[in-house]
Amino acid sequence: MKAAQAWLEAHPRTSTALLALYYFAIIGGLATIYGRGDFSTPPFVYQEF
Amino acid sequence: MKAAGQGRVKEFCGAGNGGRKIHPTKRWAAGCYGLRLPLKTAATFAHSLNSGTPSQRTHLVAALAALLVAGGVLAAGLEWCQGVERGYVHELAADFSDSKLQGAALQKAAFAEDDLLILYGSSELTQNVPTSAEQFFRDYPTGFRVFPVGKHGTAALSMLQKVAAVGPGIAGRKVAHSISPGFFFEEIFDPGQYAGNFSAMQAYELAFSRHLSPELKRDVARRMLAFPQTLEDDWLLGAALERLAGDTATDRALYSFLCPLGYLNNAIGRAQDHVEATLHILDEEDAPDAPGSPRQRVRIAPNWSRLVKSSAQMVHGVVEAKRKQARKVRPKSSRDKVFLERVGKAREWTDAELLLRTFQELNAKPLLLCMPIEDVRLEAAGLSPAARDVFIERLKGLAKAYNFPLLTFREHESDAGFLSDFFDHLSAKGWIYYDRALDDFYHDRPLNTAPPAEPPSIP
C-alpha cells in the first residue's frame, strides 16, 4: 500500500489521470443510477363514454 | 488587500494555517459569510488551483478533467442518439410505446421528416383496423406515411402538452388532429384517463416553455391544476403551475426564480428522453438492420370509390350489431336536455381551445377531423338531430375562430357503418374517408368528405 502511494507520489501525472478516471467513474455511476427518466404512466381503466 | 484575501483563501483551504486542520464550522465561517458566499467560493476555487496544497490541486485538476470528459461523452452520446432516432423514426409509426407517447424526442424527429404526417388522436388510433391511416399509408402509397400519436383517453389537455413539448419543431408543419366527440359529452374528464396519459417531462416542457405566451401557459396551468394527483410527487412542477395560474406580480416574480431550475430540469429531461428513445429502438426485436425504411415505396393512386365499396362489405356485420344494440338500449324519453347541459358545461371545450391556441402560437398547420355522430348513436342515446347540431355548430365556431380547417363528415351521419361502435372508434369504412382526407391534406388538394363518385361503367 505504502509502495503504491510512494509510486503515485513519484508519478504525479499518472496519479492525476487515475484520479480523473476515478471521478469519471463516479460521475458515470451516478448517471447510470439516477440518469434514466421515468416515462411510464400509471395504469388506468378505460371508461367508455 | 490582495495579500489579505489570499491569506483568507489559504486559511480556508487549510494551507495558510501551517497545515493545521481547521474545524469545519470555523472553516465555513472563515470563508463563506454574508452575501460574499458565491464570490468567495468562486475565488476559493480559482485560487486553490494556484495556492492550494499539491494534493488539492491534483484533485481539482482531476475533477475538472473528469467533468470535461463526461460532458464530451454526454454530448457525443446525445448526438449519436439523435442519429439513431432520425434513422429509425419511420419504423416507429406503428409504435405506441411510452417512449413515443410520453417523450418528445421521437415526435420531434417525426416532425423533421417530410414524408411523415403526424396524426394526434386517442383510442381510435390504437384499434387494429386494416384500413387505419397507419396501416393504409405504411408503404408510402402516395409518398408519405402517417405517424399516429395517442392512445386511450388522450384528450385535448394531454394532447396540447405533447404538442408543447415538441415546441418550435412543429412550426410550419402540417399536423392532423382527430377529435373524439365523446370527450365533449361529459362535463368533467375522468382524472384516471388524464393520469394515464400524463407525462411529467411534457408538462415541464409546457410549464417552462419559452415559445408559448405567459397567457396561454397561465390558462393551461389552471386546467392542469384540476388534476392534482399528477403533480403530487413533483414540487417544482406543482409550484411552477401554481405561480403561472396565480398570475399576480408576486407569482410572476416567483415563477422567474423557478425558471433556471425548470430550464435545467428540461435539459436533463430532454437528455433522458433521447436515451430512452434510443434504448427503445435498440430493444425492438424486429428493428431493421439498417436505418431507413426497408420497404419499397410504390406509388399508387388510390381508387377511393373501390376502396369505399370494399370496406362497406367489411362493416356489414358491425352495422347490424349497432342497429340491434340501439334498439335494445334506446331510452323511452328524450335525453336532449341532459345531453345539452353536459355538452354546454364540458371542460373539453376549454381544453380544445387551449390546444388550438397552442397550435397557433407554435405556427403549426393543423387539420381537424371530427368523427360523425351517427343517427344510430342518437337513437341509442335518446337524442334528437337538433342536439347533435348544437355540438357541431359550436365546434365549427371554435375552428373558425382560429381559422383552422375542420372536417365533420356530416354526409355520413346516416351511415351506421362509419364507426365500429358507439365510442368513437372508426370502422374500416370510416378510416377510408379519414385516409382520403389525410391524403388530400398532405398533397394540398381541396378537402372532400363526400362519398367518392362512382367511376363511369365501361359499356
- Return d(Cα B102, Cα B50) in angstroms, integer: 48
- Return d(Cα B197, Cα B101) in angstroms, integer: 8
Provide the pLDDT for residue B12.
Answer: 39
Provide the pLDDT for residue B313.
Answer: 86
- Contact between residue B377 and residue B323 where contact means Cβ atoms under 8 Å apart: no
Residues of B in contact with A43 (CB under 8 A): 196
- The residue of B61, B122, B189 whose CB has the most chain A CBs within 10 angstroms, and thus the best one to mutate to test that interface, is B61
- Return d(Cα B155, Cα B152) in angstroms, integer: 9
Residues of B in contact with A35 (CB under 8 A): 271-272, 275
Is A46's CB within 8 Å of B152's CB?
yes
Q: Which residue has the cell 386511450?
A: B152
In tens digits, chain B (459 residues) has pLDDT values of 444 444 443 443 444 444 444 444 444 444 434 444 455 555 565 665 566 677 788 899 999 999 999 999 999 999 999 999 999 999 999 999 999 999 999 999 999 999 999 999 999 999 999 999 999 999 999 999 999 999 999 999 999 999 999 999 999 999 999 999 999 999 988 888 999 999 999 999 999 999 999 999 999 999 999 999 999 889 999 999 999 999 999 999 999 999 999 999 999 999 999 999 999 999 875 555 445 554 556 677 888 989 998 898 888 888 999 999 999 988 888 899 999 999 999 999 999 999 999 999 999 999 999 999 999 999 999 999 999 999 999 999 999 999 999 999 999 999 999 999 999 999 999 999 999 999 999 999 999 888 887 655 555
Task: Compute the nearest-CA separation of B342 from chain A (Å).
Answer: 13
Is B153's CB within 8 Å of A20's CB?
no
Q: State pTM to two decimals.
A: 0.83
Residues of B in contact with A39 (CB under 8 A): 98-99, 102-103, 199, 201, 273, 276
Provide the pLDDT for residue B44.
Answer: 60
Provide the pLDDT for residue B31.
Answer: 43
Is A19's CB within 8 Å of B58's CB?
yes
Residues 6 or more apart in contact with residue B50 via CB below 8 angstroms: none
- Measured over the CA atoms of residue B107, residue B109, residue B110 and residue B111, the dihedral's sign is positive
Band (pLDDT 50/70/90 cuts) for residue A24 is very high
The answer, yes or no, to whether ipTM is higher than 0.95 is: no
Q: Which residue has the cell 394526434?
A: B120
Is A44's CB within 8 Å of B58's CB?
no
Band (pLDDT 50/70/90 cuts) for residue A10 is confident
Q: Which residue has the cell 371554435?
A: B398
Is A46's CB within 8 Å of B276's CB?
no
Task: Compute the nearest-CA separation of B29 from chain A (Å).
Answer: 28
Provide the pLDDT for residue A32.
Answer: 84
Which of B62, B190, B200 faces A47 most closely, judged by CB atoms? B190
Is B66's CB within 8 Å of A49's CB?
no
Is B66's CB within 8 Å of A36's CB?
no
Mapping DSSP onto H, E and C, the string for chain B reads CHHHHHHHHHHHHCCCCCCCCCCHHHHHHHHCCHHHHHHHHHHHHHHHHHHCCHHHHHHHHHHHHHHHHHHHHHHHHHHHHHHHHHHHHHHHCCCCCHHHHHCCHHHHHHHCCCCEEEEECCHHHCCCCCCCHHHHCCCCCCCCEEEEECCCCCCHHHHHHHHHHHHHHHCCCEEEEEECHHHHHCCCCCHHHHHHHCCHHHHHHHHCCCCCCHHHHHHHHHHHCCCHHHCCCCHHHHHHHHHHHHCCHHHHHHHHHHHHHHHHHHHHHHHHHHHHHHHHHHHCCCCCCCCCCCCCCCCCCCCHHHHHHHHHHHCHHHHHHHHHHHHHHCCCCCCHHHHHHHHHHCCHHHHHHHHHHHHHHCCCEEEEEECCCCHHHHHHHCCCHHHHHHHHHHHHHHHHHCCCCEECCHHHCCCCCCECCCCCCECHHHHHHHHHHHHHHHCCCCCCCCCCCCCCCCC
Q: Does A32 touch chain B (CB under 8 A)?
A: no
Residues 6 or more apart in contact with residue B71 via CB below 8 angstroms: none
